[in-house]
Amino acid sequence: MPEPSTAERAPRLGILGGTFDPIHVGHLVTAVNVRHALSLDQVILMVANVPWQKEGQRSITPAADRLAMVEAAVAGVHGLDVGRLEIERGGPSYTADTLRDLTSRHGGAQFFTIVGDDAAAGIHTWERVGEVLELSTMVVVDRPGVRAELPGDIDWIRVEVPHLDVSSTDLRARFADGRPLDFLITEPVLEVIRSRGLYQEIANV
C-alpha cells in the first residue's frame, strides 16, 4: 500500500522550546537534523516568555528582542518557523500550556517535543509533565557516540545530531570580552543584536 501523501496524513510538528538568549547555530543544527531524521513537516522554535526554570538566576533579554533574533535566524530556512504562543500568552512558559494551545490550533497534528539530554534527565521536574507526555512524543537529542541516561518510564525517541559545543552562556561571555562571534551566530541574528543594542550592558561591565 502506498504511503499517504503529506496532504493526506496528519501534520508532524516538532517543538523546540528555549530562551534563545541568543539563538545560535547549535539550535539551528539541532532543528534541521531532527526534522530530517523524523520526517517532520515543521520544527517550531518556541520562544519562552518567562522561562520558569531560569527566572531569578540571571537577567533575561526581553522577550520581544529574543523573538526578533529567532525570526531572523529561521527566515528563509525551509521547515523551520518561530513560535510566538508563549509570548502572546504571557506569564511563565510551560510546555503543557503550549501543547494545549497548539492542539487547539492544529487539530489532528502529531507533536514531538524536542529536548537536550539535560532537560530530558530532569523531565519529572516539569510542570504538569503528564500532560506533556499525553500530548506529544518526547525526542531527546544525543551527541555522537553518547547516549544520555534517561528516565526509563518514558518512551523516548533518540536522534543523534552533530555536536557543536556552543552555548548561549558562552556567547554572552564573548560579548563581554570581545571574542569573535563569527560562525557561532548567523549574520542575520548578529544584525538584530547590533541594531537593537543587545548585550551592551554585558560588554560594558
HSE-up of residue 9 (Cα within 13 Å, Cβ side): 12
Can you read off the three cell numbers belonging to residue 100?
Answer: 494545549
Q: What is the pLDDT of residues 153-167, one digit of tens each?
A: 999 999 999 988 899
Residue linked to cell 494551545: 101
Q: Which of 9-13, 42-46, 172-176, 184-188 has the lowest mean pLDDT?
A: 172-176
In this prediction the pTM is 0.90
> What is the side-by-side strand order in the sheet with 42-47?
80-83, 42-47, 12-18, 110-115, 137-142, 157-160
Instruction: Collect all residues with Cβ–Cβ distance below 8 Å to 48 and sequence separation of at least 6.
Output: 17, 18, 19, 20, 63, 86, 93
Residue 28: count of CB within 10 angstroms of its CB = 22
Q: In the structure, what pLDDT confidence band is assigned to residue 205 with cuts at 50, 70 and 90? A: very low
| pLDDT number for residue 123 | 94
Whether residue 180 is contained in a domain is answered as no
Structural domain that includes position 50: 12-165
Asked if residue 56 has pLDDT above 70, the reply is: no
Assign 3-class secondary structure to 1-20.
CCCCCCCCCCCEEEEEEECC
Q: What is the pLDDT of residues 177-201, one digit of tens each?
A: 889 998 999 999 999 999 999 987 6
Which CATH number goes with the domain that contains 149? 3.40.50.620
Whether residue 83 is contained in a domain is answered as yes
Whether residue 7 is contained in a domain is answered as no
How many domains are contained in the chain? 1
Q: What is the pLDDT of residues 75-86, one digit of tens each?
A: 999 999 999 999
Whether residue 204 is contained in a domain is answered as no
| pLDDT number for residue 195 | 95
Asked if residue 5 has pLDDT above 60, the reply is: no
Whether residue 114 is contained in a domain is answered as yes
Whether residue 18 is contained in a domain is answered as yes
Whether residue 205 is contained in a domain is answered as no
